[in-house]
Structure 1
């Protein structure tokens, strides 16, 4: 019962989530002398990276673009660090800034008490009271499991990418990968490299770009070009470079959207795929591109072109979504449609009554770092000695 909850006054912000976004927020606050408390429902920091990613994962962007504020990724790491290297960086980051989250604390709800002028955050058997609340649970809090006709009838192995580890378990089997974003492409490549027969569902149009252009990170080069040229001209350059490096994707059954990759990202949030080798496998026929699924059968799937194929395993590379709406009792800052801040980047980080978000920019770790620094600076302007020594009668 709520009356039995232990109530705890937190003088600084409460941060929900101990992933990169939460760690960045805590570090930025600490740098300016503001204490904070991180609540994390899992038993470790960076739980998405540690528990729900595949073994072959590497950073999609060059390490310079993935560093958190005030601490560089070690120079000895490769340009695109592995999953384990990035996890070790995050652990070193938390240790460097003496960040010690409270693990195993799943937030049941958080709401603002206008009468008292503070946030109440209920987690497990405690209720935390604070002036500022930072939502850092991120864009990838819960797996998206699509409702496809007949999916419950499929008798083979069915899993989401959040539980996929490596292709060794699928050697020699016929596997269908549903979803062609970065994860779908990379898992298809991993499966193929481990001797599986892979079919990849490409239902919609999408942009595939080389990970590097002219020896530089495609994303970093794009950011540099955008300082001098309009988005459409940079998009034209990216598409020309992609055609020269990867070839015409239309010939292998992958159609590009009418608008360019950067413009599409800015208007819809849809991220282009950065190729790490899957395109060669698709062009050689080792990874087969198939159209959308009409329905699943007990042994496989029927596609929109009427073809029926048997599969032993189906992997859903259908992404993740925000879970903010399930616990945050607030109807103005976050959209009821998708659990993202209503205002787009760069005005996405601040709500009302001391509510903030970090890591909802659709711009990866770089966007989260920008958020964290803005949030910390804003809270620092409000922080004073009275706050540090305020005691509530709880």
Structure 2
């Protein structure tokens, strides 16, 4: 196949790019290794909701319907994306996985399990959460219960009556802990690192709107301005067994490329004793978990909410002296369009990742259109 632009991945970023390319009248093809669009959303746990409001979480040229709540549920996001696909007549080539993307004689050659695709431009849209990190704890082979990555978790009902250790304190870990409690399990969270926690809403207003207002400022300045309000709303997390990061949430995004925790009720449950907090895991022996702070406890199951990695470094082959490290190159379009290679959906933005995806998708399409014309 020979095409002007190839989009790799048909989840949120890929769909946004496809619609934006259509608006610019650009010929494209979009491939997806799964058998449906937005495959990760079909696999996510049942309780999942967007942590950012629908006002700032829609894709280009189509908003969420007015009857959808401020924070859409997982199934509502899936339905929106299916409607988006239909509205723009996006027809991905499903069950088609890219194994290699190389630039040869001025064009990009993409090797898939079905065919070879030649294109002038390539947009990588496989996402920042494409591949679960490997679960490993010293002694885990002796654990008699279930140990699963959070990507395999579906509902707390599967763990009702059990004492469950949730390893991690990201947004997924925090919501999974709530779900476990609500479904009759006894959740304990293992938190190794320092954290930043911000409320999802401030006086009824999504905190994302506050981030957008502060975004023009340098992150340390914006953090300094918002610090008193965050402390008032969240309180002293040290009393809860958590350690505060030495810098604020906006600086964290810029410096570490990681989002702070948007609290959807976890802190309240910790204060009420519904969710316990432990330190990092040292090792496991049978059903006993030994923590680095010296504490010991027995568990029936372990959910490892330890994050994901991108797969770009496995697929895209470029000369490092021209492109640098691909893990760096996906950071906010540092190598935007270099030799016709683009990335969409990898930047953790203080103003919301889906909002950033929508903006980047339109920028990419306009840039390609400008090069064609």
Please state which band the TM-score falls in when normalised by the shorter chain.
over 0.9
Structure 1 consecutive aligned stretches of length 4 or more whose deviation exceeds 4 Å: 333-336
The answer on 1:194 being equivalent to 2:183 is yes
Look up the match of 2:329: 342
| Alpha-carbon distance change, 144 to 343 in structure 1, aligned in 2, over 3 angstroms | closer
Look up the match of 2:80: 89
Look up the match of 1:382: 371
The partner residue of 2:104 within 104, 113, 119 is: 113
SS at structure 2 position matched to 1:169? helix
Any idea what the Cα deviations from partners look like across 1:222-251, whole Å, max 9, x if unmatched? 211344x55334323433223222321111
How far is 1:351 from its partner?
Answer: 4.1
Look up the match of 1:352: 338
Structure 2: runs of 5 or more not aligned = none
The answer on 1:269 being equivalent to 2:225 is no
How far is 1:200 from its partner?
Answer: 0.1
The answer on 1:9 being equivalent to 2:37 is no
The answer on 1:34 being equivalent to 2:26 is yes
| Alpha-carbon distance change, 335 to 143 in structure 1, aligned in 2, over 3 angstroms | farther
Look up the match of 2:172: 183
Query: Which of structures 1 and 2 has the bigger CA Rg?
Result: 1
Structure 1: runs of 5 or more not aligned = 1-7, 385-394
SS at structure 2 position matched to 1:132? strand
The count of residues paired between Structure 1 and Structure 2 equals 369
Preserved contact between residue 300 and residue 312 of structure 1 (Cα < 8 Å): no
SS at structure 1 position matched to 2:363? helix
Report the TM-score when normalising by structure 1: 0.90
The answer on 1:232 being equivalent to 2:257 is no
Look up the match of 1:289: 277
CA distance in 1: counterparts of 2:335 and 2:265, whole angstroms: 36
SS at structure 2 position matched to 1:188? helix
The partner residue of 2:12 within 15, 20, 30 is: 20
Superposed, 1:125-140 pairs within 5 Å as 125-140=114-129
SS at structure 2 position matched to 1:326? helix
Look up the match of 1:362: 348
Measured on the aligned residues, the alpha-carbon RMSD in Å equals 1.6
CA distance in 2: counterparts of 1:322 and 1:297, whole angstroms: 32
CA distance in 2: counterparts of 1:348 and 1:90, whole angstroms: 28
The answer on 1:304 being equivalent to 2:296 is no
Look up the match of 2:41: 49
